[in-house]
Chains A and B, each alone.
Chain A
Amino acid sequence: MNFWKSTIGQKQLVGLAGLALAGFVLTHMLGNLLILVGPRAYNEYSHALVSNPLIYAAEVGLLVFFLGHVIVAMTLQKRNWKSREVKYAVSASGDKATSPAKKSLWAQGMIILIFVVLHLITMKYGEYYTVNYGQGEIRDLHRLVVDVFHQPGYVIWYVICLVLLGIHLSHGVASSFQTLGFNHPKYTPKIKLGSCLFAAVVTAGFVVQPIYVYFLM
């Protein structure tokens, strides 16, 4: 039995990569909160990140985790669709029903994938303003962010996608522990609660930025 071809092995890969990505979104969210401190702190943090030579290794690692998570999850999803050729006429209800959030994990993932691509185009590869704080010119990312988040359409799209990310994380983080074989009557309820709290904190932290910029700046 080839581990990498098995449904369990592939799911464990998806879970591991997902946990790594969850760690990334947390740090990304914390960095974004510097918008509350001011333009200089925001831009200098951004410059410190991109000027560190380790950024290339980090970006390659992130890309590998991201592509691994998406491609393997899509492979599994394709198999899952094929495993029931004739659908039920009536959906389960009551205690035996599956929540729409758990049923649509793949769709949430697809929307988040589109969001990430557009987000990179808008932010990372977007307009390159510069600013000088006395130590040479650095990118004025703060100005770009303020520009972008003054467009109501973008703010709505951003908030919807971040809520979807939160729903994705609330199931995904706890689910990864289960997939990796960690289930214990004492700790699993706490992991599930922690997963929901993590998702809520990440989403709330990300949503602070567009709301702050749109309404208060």
Chain B
Amino acid sequence: MNLNLKIWRQKNSQDKGQFMEFHAKDISEDMSFLEMMDVVNEQLIKDGKEPVEFDHDCREGICGACSMVINGNPHGPDKATTTCQLHMRRFKDGDSIVIEPFRAKAFPVIRDLVVDRSAFDRIIEAGGFISASTGNAQDANCLPIAKDHADRAFSAATCIGCGACVAACKNASASLFVSAKIAHLGLLPQGQAERERRALRMVAAMDESGFGGCTNTGACSAACPKEIGQENIAMMNRDFMRSSAKNRD
């Protein structure tokens, strides 16, 4: 199939950036979206032009590196899909596709479609961990965990930190990402000791990074390739409220 692409080109974070049009020819419907981008880049290199920069790594939907907003949808039109899992059979011959970077003040564009998502790392550094003494892991049976809690914790833990939630939110809010981490650790016994401090510190880091607030539109869950649910945000709100009330600092 042949496609008309409108791709965002931006030299660096200071550059204003603009859309540039490309014609992708002879694209197989079995290609992934990123493979289609590879074909475009190979042609650009052959023509002596700069290839389009985009993030990618595992190409199997588990690393969270790929991003892109495709025709207004983070990771493209399909639910529960990362850009690397999106296939060209989803498009028709002659389609026009607009490709933009994830847009948020907290995710500045580094170049073309690559954005700086280190704000997520700073939020994790603030409290998205458990402090554990090193040594042998204890017998798993010593820590009984209710099935319901384990399921919810695992569901929250599937977050790959791609940032599609921020890209999809009209407020560029990171609530779904932060809440997934808070729920993942807060539902397990190992996460209890630091649960209150974690909520306070991670929310503070989230706000300091310049993300917007949550207005419960649910756009984040709809765009999330792992379908992280809204109940995690409610749990974050609960934990934050309770921790703020009990905070002695």
Contact = CB atoms under 8 A, between A and B. Distances in A.
A79 B71 CA distance: 26
Contacts of B244: 1, 3, 6, 9
A103 B219 CA distance: 10
Contacts of B170: 80, 84, 98, 102-103
Given A6-B240, A179-B216, A94 B77 contact: yes
B190 interface: no
B222 interface: yes
B237 A181 contact: yes
Contact of A80 (B204, B212, B219, B223): B212
Contacts of A98: 170, 217-219
Given A90-B72, A98-B219, A178-B230, A8 B237 contact: yes
A183 interface: yes
Contacts of B6: 89
Contacts, number: 156
A167 to B, nearest CB: 14
A60 interface: no
Residue among A10, A80, A84, A183 with the most chain B CB within 10 A? A84
A92 B170 CA distance: 10
A8 B236 contact: yes
A167 B212 CA distance: 23
Q: How large is the interface on B (under 10, 10 to 19, 20 to 34, 35 or more residues)?
A: 35 or more
B103 interface: yes
B231 A185 contact: yes
A7 B234 contact: no
Contact of A96 (B17, B168, B207): B168
Contacts of A182: 234
Interface string B1-26: 00000100000000001010000000
Interface string A57-83: 000000000000000000010011011
Interface in A84-100: 84-99
Interface residues of A, number: 46
B73 A181 contact: no
A99 B218 CA distance: 10
Contacts of A7: 173, 203, 206-207, 211-214
Contacts of A11: 213-215, 237
Contacts of B168: 92, 96
A80 B172 CA distance: 7
A70 to B, nearest CB: 15
A180 B237 contact: yes
Interface of A: 1, 3, 5-12, 76, 79-80, 82-99, 102-103, 105, 171, 174-175, 178-185, 188
Given A7-B173, A8-B214, A91-B72, 4 more contacts: A83-B104, A84-B172, A89-B100, A181-B234
